């Protein structure tokens, strides 16, 4: 399953949106394991860093949590839904506002992820142009 290429939304946001829909609809239930970055990489034909960024967005939104060595899981008590802007940055709980440094680094990571995704797309098209299939 590949992601749509005719959108300006970064691939990691599209993947996060899809998993968010599965969680909100109950298809992924509280406590249930979320697909790993490797599984997302294979399913959506994306880079592993893109998949990890999608999982990071969901962690930042409070929808999933990570257990080292075991994976990512849906939280037991889902936070309330945002104002309907799927994929938009959501605020953290008022008791723990993100620091300026966190927001700056998060923005830089998002920008770098976009650049890497654009480069990977360019190299894929270049390989197709040269008659070679890209390595995955």
Domain extent listing, the chain: 11-129
Tokens linked to 112:
């770098």
More confident residue, 98 or 60: 60
Query: What does the alpha-carbon distance between residue 6 and residue 91 come to, in Å, rounded to a whole number?
Result: 28
Contact yes or no for 88/49 (Cβ under 8 A): no
pLDDT confidence bin for 99, thresholds 50/70/90: confident
**pLDDT average, residue stretch 75-90:** 66
Q: Does residue 24 carry a pLDDT above 90?
A: yes
pLDDT the model gives residue 107: 75
Contact yes or no for 58/64 (Cβ under 8 A): yes
Per DSSP (E only), the strands in the chain are 33-34, 64-67, 71-74
Query: What does the alpha-carbon distance between residue 25 and residue 91 come to, in Å, rounded to a whole number?
Result: 21
Domain 11-129 has CATH 3.30.70.20: no
More confident residue, 91 or 56: 56
More confident residue, 3 or 52: 52
């Amino acid at each position: 399953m590949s992601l749509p290429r005719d959108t300006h939304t970064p691939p990691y946001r599209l993947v996060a949106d899809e998993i968010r829909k599965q969680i909100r609809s109950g298809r992924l239930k509280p406590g249930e394991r979320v697909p790993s970055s490797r599984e997302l990489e294979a399913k959506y034909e994306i880079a592993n860093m893109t998949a990890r960024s999608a999982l990071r967005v969901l962690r930042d939104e409070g929808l999933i949590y990570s257990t080292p060595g075991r994976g990512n899981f849906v939280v037991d008590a889902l936070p309330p839904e945002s104002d309907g802007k799927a994929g938009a940055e959501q605020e953290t709980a008022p008791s723990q506002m993100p620091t300026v440094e966190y927001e700056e680094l998060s923005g830089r990571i998002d920008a770098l992820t976009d650049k890497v995704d654009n480069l990977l797309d360019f190299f894929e098209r270049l390989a197709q142009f040269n008659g070679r299939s890209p390595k995955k």
